Amino acid sequence: LQKHFAEREQSREGLEKAHLDLQKHFAEREQSREGLEKAHLDLQKHFAEREQSREGLEKAHLDLQKHFAKREESREGLEKAHLDLQKYFAEREQSREGLEKAHEDLMRWSLELERIGKQDKEEHLKLVQYIGILEQQGVESSDRIQVLTQERDSLRDSLERIQSKWLYRQYQRLRRILPG
């Protein structure tokens, strides 16, 4: 009988130990489940942030395209103005008064071209600041930004060359025509 009760006592202790082990197992599973839920929420947050970043890049890309379209229109307008000026000066070269008036007009238009150049520089600075903001937000699209930056710089250089060549030609023409 003592042996029987000793075995029962051992069996009871074993059951209690199994019960404690089971409780420990379920506590660990609960912790694991909570960890998985937290990881899931973190992952959702990460993807939401990536989506915002992607939308920001798309907006920046559209803004840059819009800017370059405006610059192209401006360049085409300058080329048309250049042709108009050539025609205008050809008509005005026949008289001294016409030359003096053409000179005044040229000075006024030169100032206007300078003003346009300053506006382009201001837009360039705004774009540089905008790109800096995107880089600060951790956007990893430096290749795309670099391509767009190169396109912007190329257009700026082309515009400056057009302006410089045109102004120099007008200056040479006036030197040939005006006495002294």
- For 59-113, give the DSSP string: HHHHHHHHHHHHHHHHHHHHHHHHHHHHHHHHHHTTSHHHHHHHHHHHHHHHHHH
Residue positions counted in the chain: 180
Per-residue pLDDT of the chain (180 residues; tens, 9 = 90+): 899 999 999 999 999 999 999 999 999 999 999 999 999 999 999 999 999 989 988 998 999 899 999 989 888 988 888 888 888 777 766 656 655 776 787 788 778 777 777 777 777 777 777 767 766 665 555 666 676 778 777 777 877 777 777 777 877 777 777 765
pTM, 2 dp: 0.33
Q: Is 125 helix (H, G, I), strand (E, B) or coil?
A: helix
Q: What local confidence, expressed as pLDDT, does residue 176 receive?
A: 77
Q: What local confidence, expressed as pLDDT, does residue 87 receive?
A: 86
Q: What local confidence, expressed as pLDDT, does residue 66 receive?
A: 93
CA separation for the pair 76, 84 (Å, rounded): 12
Tokens 């800096």 sit at which residue? 132
Q: Which amino acid is at 19?
A: H
Q: What local confidence, expressed as pLDDT, does residue 41 receive?
A: 95
CA separation for the pair 64, 61 (Å, rounded): 5
Residue ranges of domains in the chain? 54-177
CA separation for the pair 159, 82 (Å, rounded): 13
Q: What local confidence, expressed as pLDDT, does residue 62 receive?
A: 92
Q: What local confidence, expressed as pLDDT, does residue 173 receive?
A: 76
Angle between helices 96-136 and 2-92 (to 10 degrees): 180
